[in-house]
Amino acid sequence: MMRSIAAWALILACGLGVAGGAGAAEGLVNAKDFQADARTAAKRRVPILVLFSSPDCPYCDRVKREYLVPMHKDPAYRDRVVIREVTVDAGTPLKGFKGGATTQGEFSADHKVFMVPTVKVFDTQGDPAGDAIVGLLSADYYFGYLENAIDEGVRKVRGK
């Protein structure tokens, strides 16, 4: 446990140093094709974490900058999760988990996301792997909430 906390502190410090003056979204992949993402996740035997965000949301920027961008850039997370971002009100084309054409906004509505930031973890079939993390909640515990959601997704995908 202490090793995990120390590793996260180092990752966070490096991530903040790298992303300090940069836009918060740098380093996150905007969702375009969940069917392809699901194939990648299935090969790695990992879940897909989706951040539902909005461009004018300071809490979304904070979640990206302090948590998800450092995770996305950390090679250790490659074996634990695929991370994507969806803009809740965007008309940006998106291929859903079943291959159907939709938009990021429609995908958000279909998954009942009406508040940002919202983080949902999906299995490789596109089914939710646990409860959503809605809002920033307590910043002191947010990393733990993300870790628990990822762990739950990994258990579901790997059948453990």
Q: What is the mean pLDDT of each run of 10 residues along the chain (160 residues)?
A: 40 37 60 97 97 96 96 93 97 96 97 96 96 90 96 93
Domains and CATH numbers, the chain: 2-158 (3.40.30.10)
What is the model's pLDDT at position 119? 98
What is the model's pLDDT at position 9? 39
Q: What is the DSSP string of 63-118?
A: HIIIIIHHHHH-GGGGGT-EEEEEETT---EEE-TTS-EEEHHHHHHHTT--SSSE
What is the model's pLDDT at position 8? 39
What is the model's pLDDT at position 54? 96
What is the model's pLDDT at position 26? 59
What is the model's pLDDT at position 139? 83
Q: Please give the angle made by the CA atoms of 51, 56 and 61, to the nearest 5 degrees.
A: 50
